[in-house]
């Protein structure tokens, strides 16, 4: 894919240099979208899209193929990385997708704006079809809204996105059997056979018709009254069409019906749709009629503003504007006046005017007349405000028994509302008013239900076209499917009652608070995701809450059933606080500097053992505490006590205190410098704790020195050290997938390679924990150093070096201990130790055998553990200064010699006359050759007479003039007549000049030729002798050979040669 990106013309960018990754906006398996921000070059809003190999294969090519179209999301560049991800930088749509925008802004668009958007979508789809591509997933959720302008139609801008189900018409997609079919949006021919040949431009045309219907229905999901997709499939195969939207023109409705024709060939093309939309008359003939009638204000009111009541101040409220009000002439209960935005619906007005007084429904006194024609509603005032605010600010910290009492009162109110034939539509803690409260006594609490602005008829099929903003975080999934138009029933309110109970146990926490936008919440709920159990919620109550959240509405309890189950709870079995802050426990200063997680604490009255207060994360508190209690029986796992009730809105847990703190801090500060034997004892204790955890089928998930508490320490005696394992916030069962958990960047160096490399496929195992144990041992031997501290770690990315590079042996770690650590750090998980093997290997280490290391400075053998300290104090021996060197030349041979060696040299100098000794020679009477007198005797013993060597004369002889070979018997005659023989000069008379003129062949009578030719004497030729390199006359060479000896190469010669070489090479 990298090659395709480099050839696509996309700009390449870098994290940290060009682009910064911000918050996560969307996440699914294999694809994560982040908000992005430019660091340099540009400043337009962007998103960062990360795709793994599977998602890349599925959709990346389509983004490149249709890029640079005005109405298709633009891909601006890519980012190379070492994690085998395809990372795109794309345009950011500030208004989100069309489905969410319509749901959050139900009355924003007019029909002309809708028509303009449909035209832009059809234009984009025409371009996609020209590339012979089928989008396969057209819907409002895959249309991004970039601009909305109610005054200028052409200034509105939408773009198509998400090619996750796209395919090329001419190429069958890979993994086709794993592609999801969007049953509610796709064409019927796909539902029948789901063959590749069924996908075409006309199948996308069908989906465009559904998209138009969805947008005009305020993003209601098609066939929203039907829960199961299989039932929707049967309806579509039976040719059951969607009904006409309430807000729709005739032209758009006719276009939709053309798109839904059963025969694909009859459906219009996108080009034809473009033409129709361009010339379509879609004047905004909004149908303002509604299936719900509105309350008509009375002409005469029981109360008048300025006569009976006055409104001096405004207060915060969940709906409308709420004003504090005072009676002018009457002395009745405290009141508030609510200014409503519109006239109440008939069902809301029914509650305010026709309901008889109920103890747990707010008392509405009536409407208030005023001169400004405002809709003012007069209600009783709650002294303590709403339940949500009380829980969030900590003013009300009810026990579980108190909360059960409150829930029963709300359920009783809902039983009465249902009996009147309506549903509330917006059950949440903000719509519960608190009139009396007591955190510990259930009977002294009194709440009332308020705000019936979302009241509907208790009928799933009843349609409400008011287009209200839906309370996405609290409503049932079926309400989301219908965009709030239908599906309201007692069961949908039962779902919201479950969310209300969750919110109360979570101290007013917002449901799905990790999701910032309603779009994310809607998507999570539609996928069936449920809220997690609140920390202090008892299992008995949690079971009731879960039963309110069944996806199938009819499986949920009715309110009478919820009341019975709440009333039958055994309150004596409910979990409550055992300790209370400032009653049983006194809080002191934070531990570890400014840490807000651990605090010193004392018992009241003071007693043993020493304790700390730990502030826990609510998301992980319940699991972490359950594991502490499950494992605390082991002697090497920290002991815990119980929760501490407090007024800080915190989850506080009481734990035994380690007098010396954690192992990492001790090692880094230098206050603890344990021997290798002591470290091995500590490792054994941690290993025993891990053997116990693995036996319980759990992994710790965060093994490092900072999670090892030191209770006793002695740097030299192994038996006087005691440590315990703590921090189970990341503990999980063996086999738990890594993909579902976010790994902080600070923990990456401690994770096993198989977890770092492929988080989407890896699971936690014993051998992955053994690797982390190996890193922990390395850290302890390195005085608490952070592994790979030099690598750059940013967010969920890190340098490849920390993924591939191995930890090096610490200088103070003995070889036998390092061998055990190295085997724990093996890259291949299959060949690592188990914890039982690790324990055995550590116990077998013999620390009495100390390997020595040779010191190059002092040439001494130093114990391996002491070598680092020795090198600090060891000083290399001083280097002696070189003595002055003087040279003197030999007067016989002129050779340079050291002054001290001159005398020895002259004794052997070959040029010194005193050393000359003539060697006498004798001729052999057999071979007629000369030999030194000392060698003649030995030669004659082995010399053969000339007659014995007669065979040698048979060998060919080379002529010295012409260099031709001749027989030995013929060589003499040849030499006389050899044409290459040198010419012998003869004496001539001065008068003879014929020779100069070249007439030497013609006989001259006046020349006398001497027939006895005389050779001129030759000067002896000098020959260089190989032993002494001297020029010797040729006639003296034999005598010189007898006395010459090879020239000796003295030490001085070698030394001088070395100095010359050094000077030459500088």
Quote the mean pLDDT of the chain: 82
Q: What percent of the chain has pLDDT over 70?
A: 82
pLDDT band per the 50, 70, 90 thresholds, residue 1064: low
Mean pLDDT over residues 10-38, rounded?
85
β-pairing, 579-580 vs 640-645, is: parallel
The residue-averaged pLDDT of 109-126 equals: 94
597-647: pLDDT as tens digits: 788 899 998 888 899 888 877 666 777 888 888 888 899 999 988 888 777
For residue 1051, what pLDDT is reported? 65
**Cα gap 930→927, rounded to integer Å:** 9
Q: How far does Cα 906 stand from its chain's mean position?
A: 83
Predicted pLDDT at 797: 38
DSSP 194: -
Predicted structure pTM score: 0.62
Most confident stretch, 231-245, 276-290, 1034-1048: 231-245
Least confident of 45-54, 890-899, 977-986: 977-986
User: Residue 920 has what pLDDT?
Assistant: 60
Percent of the chain with pLDDT over 90: 38
Greatest mean pLDDT among 29-38, 101-110, 538-547: 538-547
Residues 897, 902, 907, 912, Cα dihedral to 10°: 70
pLDDT at 799: 42
Q: Is residue 204 a contact partner of residue 121, using CB atoms and an 8 Å limit? A: no
CATH class of 1-91: alpha beta
Q: What pLDDT score does 547 carry?
A: 94
Q: How many helices (H) and strands (E) does the chain have?
A: 32, 42
Please tell me the predicted confidence (pLDDT) of residue 1003: 45
Residue 24 β-bridge partners: 34
Average the pLDDT over 1051-1057 and give the result: 68
Bridge partners of 375, per DSSP, are 340
pLDDT of 452 over the 50 cut: yes
Q: Model confidence at 843, in pLDDT bands (50, 70, 90)?
A: very high
- Is the previous residue joined to 605 through a cis bond, with omega within 30 degrees of 0? yes
Helices marked H in 194-278: 201-216, 229-237, 250-259, 270-278
> 23-32, 389-398, 529-538, 859-868: which has the minimum mean pLDDT?
859-868
Q: What is the pLDDT of residue 756?
A: 80
Closest CA to 361 of 301, 425, 411: 411
CA dist 382 → 365, 379, 1040, 1047 (Å): 14, 9, 137, 124
User: CATH second-level architecture of 96-279?
Assistant: Orthogonal Bundle (1.10)
- Per-residue pLDDT band for 768 (boundaries 50, 70, 90) equals very high
- Tokens in use for 1028? 């002494």
pLDDT (tens digit per residue) in 132-143 = 999 999 999 999
Helices (H), 805-889: 815-824, 835-843, 867-873
849: pLDDT confidence band, cut at 50, 70 and 90? low
Confidence class for position 1006, pLDDT limits 50, 70, 90 = very low
> Using 50, 70 and 90 to split pLDDT, how confident is the model at 542?
very high
Q: In a 3-state reduction of DSSP, which class is residue 447?
A: strand
Lowest mean pLDDT: which of 23-32, 183-192, 350-359? Answer: 23-32
Q: Which residue has the higher pLDDT, 742 or 388?
A: 388
What residues does 339 pair with on adjacent strands? 321, 376
pLDDT for 867 beyond 50: yes
Tokens of 839: 């324990």
For the cut 50, the answer to whether the pLDDT of residue 977 exceeds it is: yes
Across the range 492-520, mean pLDDT stands at 89
* pLDDT band for position 793 (cuts 50, 70, 90): very low
> What does 1051-1063 look like in DSSP terms, one character per residue?
HHHHHHHHHHHHH
Q: Give residue-wise pLDDT tens across range 902-955.
A: 777 877 787 777 766 555 667 777 777 777 776 777 777 777 654 444 444 456
Task: Give the residue extent of every domain in the chain.
Answer: 1-91, 96-279, 323-573, 581-656, 661-791+799-844
pLDDT band per the 50, 70, 90 thresholds, residue 332: confident
Q: Which fold has domain 323-573?
A: Transferase(Phosphotransferase); domain 1 (1.10.510)
State how far the Cα of 609 lies from the Cα of 625, in Å rounded to an integer. Answer: 19
For residue 988, the model assigns a pLDDT of: 44
pLDDT, position 137? 92
CA 223 remoteness from chain centre: 40
Class (C level, CATH) for 581-656: alpha beta
Would you tell me how many other CB atoms lie within 10 Å of the CB of residue 470?
Answer: 24
- 852 versus 233: the higher-pLDDT residue is 233
Q: How far is CA 614 from CA 505, 601, 640, in A?
A: 20, 10, 10
Confidence band of 881 (pLDDT split at 50, 70, 90): low
Whether the domain at 323-573 and the domain at 661-791+799-844 fall into the same CATH topology: yes
Predicted local distance difference test score (pLDDT) of residue 288: 42
Give tens-digit pLDDT for 651-691: 888 889 999 999 999 999 999 999 999 999 999 999 999 99
Predicted local confidence at residue 16, as pLDDT: 85
pLDDT at 780: 95
Q: pLDDT of 141-189, one tens digit each?
A: 999 999 999 889 899 999 999 998 999 998 888 777 777 889 999 999 9
Determine the average pLDDT of the residues in 1008-1022: 47
d(CA 906, CA 704): 79
Q: How far apart are CA 165 and CA 58, in angstroms?
A: 8
pLDDT tens, position by position, 553-594: 989 999 999 999 999 988 776 666 778 888 889 988 887 655
User: Is pLDDT of 693 > 90?
Assistant: yes
Q: Is the pLDDT of residue 759 over 70?
A: no
pLDDT of 442 = 92
Band of pLDDT at residue 286, cut at 50, 70 and 90: very low
661-791+799-844 is a CATH 1.25.40.10 domain: no
Give the H/E segment covering residue 410: helix 400-419
User: Which pLDDT band holds residue 211 (cuts at 50, 70, 90)?
Assistant: very high
Integer CA distances (angstroms), 826 to 754, 764, 806, 812, in order: 11, 16, 9, 21
Residue 1043 binned pLDDT confidence (cut-offs 50, 70, 90): low
φ, ψ at 580 (rounded to 5°): -135, 140
Is residue 453 over pLDDT 70?
yes
Q: What is the pLDDT of residue 1046?
A: 57
Q: What is the pLDDT of residue 587?
A: 87
Task: List the single range of 242-256, 786-800, 932-946 with lowest mean pLDDT.
Answer: 786-800
Res. 722 pLDDT band, cuts 50 70 90: very high
Range 896-904 average pLDDT: 74
Phi-psi region of 1022 (alpha: psi -120 to 50; beta: other; left: phi over 0): beta
Judge whether residue 1013 has pLDDT over 70: no
Residues 6 or more apart whose CB falls under 8 angstroms from that of 800 comprise 82
């Amino acid at each position: 894919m990298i090659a395709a990106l480099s050839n696509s013309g996309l700009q390449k960018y870098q994290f940290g240099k060009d682009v910064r990754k911000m918050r996560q906006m969307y996440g699914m398996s294999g694809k994560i979208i982040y908000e992005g921000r430019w660091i340099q070059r540009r400043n337009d809003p962007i998103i960062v899209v990360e795709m793994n190999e599977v998602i890349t294969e599925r959709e990346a090519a389509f983004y490149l193929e249709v890029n640079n179209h005005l109405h298709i999301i633009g891909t601006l560049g890519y980012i190379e990385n070492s994690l085998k991800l395809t990372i795109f930088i794309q345009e950011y749509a500030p208004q989100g997708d069309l489905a969410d925008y319509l749901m959050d802004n139900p009355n924003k668009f007019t029909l002309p704006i809708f028509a303009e958007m449909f035209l832009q979508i059809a234009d984009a789809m025409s371009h996609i079809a020209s590339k012979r591509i089928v989008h396969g997933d057209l819907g409002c959720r895959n249309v991004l809204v970039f601009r909305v302008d109610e005054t200028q139609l052409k200034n509105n801008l939408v773009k198509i996105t998400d090619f996750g189900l796209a395919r090329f018409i001419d190429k069958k997609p890979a993994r086709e059997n794993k592609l999801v079919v969007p049953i509610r949006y796709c064409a019927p021919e796909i539902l029948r056979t789901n063959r590749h040949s069924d996908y075409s431009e006309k199948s996308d045309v069908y989906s465009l018709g559904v998209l138009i219907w969805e947008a005009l229905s305020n993003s209601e999901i098609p066939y929203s009254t039907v829960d199961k997709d299989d039932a929707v499939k049967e309806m579509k195969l039976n040719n059951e069409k969607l009904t006409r939207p309430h807000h729709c023109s005739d032209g758009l409705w006719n276009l939709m019906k053309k798109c839904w024709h059963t025969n694909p060939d009859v459906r219009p093309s996108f080009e034809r749709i473009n033409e129709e939309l361009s010339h379509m008359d879609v004047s905004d003939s909004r149908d303002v009629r509604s299936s719900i009638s509105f309350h008509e204000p009375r002409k005469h009111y029981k109360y008048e503003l300025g006569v009976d009541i006055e409104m001096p101040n405004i207060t915060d409220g969940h709906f409308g504007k709420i004003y504090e009000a005072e009676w002018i002439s009457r002395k009745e209960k405290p009141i508030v006046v609510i200014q409503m935005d519109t006239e109440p619906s008939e069902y809301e007005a029914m509650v305010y005017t026709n309901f008889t007084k109920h103890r747990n429904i707010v008392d509405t006194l009536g409407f208030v007349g005023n001169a400004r024609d405002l809709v003012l509603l007069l209600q009783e005032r709650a002294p303590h405000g709403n339940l949500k605010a009380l829980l969030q600010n900590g003013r009300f910290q009810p026990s579980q028994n108190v909360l059960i009492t409150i829930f029963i009162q709300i359920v009783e109110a809902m039983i009465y509302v249902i009996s009147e034939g309506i549903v509330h539509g917006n059950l949440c803690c903000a719509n519960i008013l608190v009139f009396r409260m007591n955190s510990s006594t259930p009977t002294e609490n009194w709440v009332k239900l308020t705000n019936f602005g979302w009241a509907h008829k208790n009928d799933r099929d009843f349609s409400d076209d008011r287009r209200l903003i839906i309370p996405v975080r609290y409503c049932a999934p079926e309400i989301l499917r219908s965009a709030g138009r239908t599906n309201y029933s007692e069961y949908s309110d039962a779902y919201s009652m479950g969310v209300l109970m969750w919110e109360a146990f979570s101290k007013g926490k917002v449901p799905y608070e990790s999701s910032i936008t309603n779009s994310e919440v809607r998507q999570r709920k539609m996928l069936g995701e449920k809220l997690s159990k609140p920390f202090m919620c008892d299992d008995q109550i949690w079971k009731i809450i879960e039963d309110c959240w069944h996806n199938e509405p009819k499986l949920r309890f009715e309110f009478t059933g919820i009341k019975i189950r709440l009333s039958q709870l055994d309150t004596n079995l409910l979990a409550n606080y055992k300790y209370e802050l400032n009653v049983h426990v006194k809080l002191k200063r934070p531990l570890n500097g400014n840490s807000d997680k651990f605090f010193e604490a004392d018992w009241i009255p003071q007693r043993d053992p020493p304790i700390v207060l730990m502030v826990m994360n609510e998301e992980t508190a319940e699991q972490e505490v359950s594991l502490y209690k499950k494992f605390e029986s082991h002697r090497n796992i920290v002991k815990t006590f119980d929760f501490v009730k407090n007024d800080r809105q915190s989850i506080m847990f009481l734990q035994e205190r380690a007098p010396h703190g954690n192992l990492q801090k001790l090692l880094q500060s230098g206050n603890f410098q344990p021997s290798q034997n002591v470290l091995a004892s500590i490792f054994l204790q941690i290993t025993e704790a891990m053997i116990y955890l693995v036996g319980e089928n759990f992994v710790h998930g965060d093994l490092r020195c900072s999670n090892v508490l030191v209770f006793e320490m002695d740097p030299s005696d192994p038996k006087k050290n005691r440590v315990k394992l703590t921090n189970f916030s990341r503990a999980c069962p063996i086999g738990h997938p890594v993909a579902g958990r976010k790994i902080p960047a600070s923990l990456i160096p401690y994770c096993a390679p198989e977890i770092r490399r492929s988080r989407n496929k890896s699971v936690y195992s014993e051998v992955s924990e053994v690797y982390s144990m190996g890193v922990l041992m390395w850290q302890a031997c390195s005085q608490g150093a952070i592994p790979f501290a030099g690598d750059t770690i940013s967010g969920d990315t890190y340098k490849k070096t920390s993924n591939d590079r191995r930890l090096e042996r610490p200088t103070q770690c003995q070889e036998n201990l390092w061998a055990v650590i190295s085997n724990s750090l093996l890259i291949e998980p299959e060949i690592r130790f188990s914890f039982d093997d690790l324990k055995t290997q550590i116990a077998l280490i013999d620390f009495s055998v100390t390997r020595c290391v040779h010191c190059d400075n002092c040439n001494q053998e130093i114990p391996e553990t002491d070598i680092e300290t020795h090198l600090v104090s060891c000083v290399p021996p001083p280097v002696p200064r070189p003595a002055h060197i003087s040279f003197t030349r030999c007067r016989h041979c002129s050779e340079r010699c050291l002054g001290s060696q001159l005398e020895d040299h002259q004794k052997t100098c070959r040029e010194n006359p005193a050393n000359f000794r003539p060697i006498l020679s004798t001729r052999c009477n057999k071979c007629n050759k000369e030999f030194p007198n000392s060698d003649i005797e030995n030669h004659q013993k082995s010399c053969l007479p000339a007659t014995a060597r007669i065979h040698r004369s048979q060998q060919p002889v080379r002529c010295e003039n012409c260099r031709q070979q001749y027989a030995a018997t013929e060589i003499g005659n040849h030499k006389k007549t050899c044409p290459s023989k040198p010419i012998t000069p003869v004496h001539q008379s001065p008068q003879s000049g014929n020779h100069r003129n070249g007439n030497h062949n013609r006989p001259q009578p006046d020349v006398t030729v001497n027939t006895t030719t005389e050779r001129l004497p030759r000067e002896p030729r000098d020959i260089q002798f190989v032993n002494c390199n001297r020029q010797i006359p040729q006639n003296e060479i034999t005598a010189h050979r007898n006395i010459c000896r090879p020239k000796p190469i003295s030490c001085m010669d070698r030394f001088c040669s070395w100095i010359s070489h050094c000077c030459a090479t500088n």
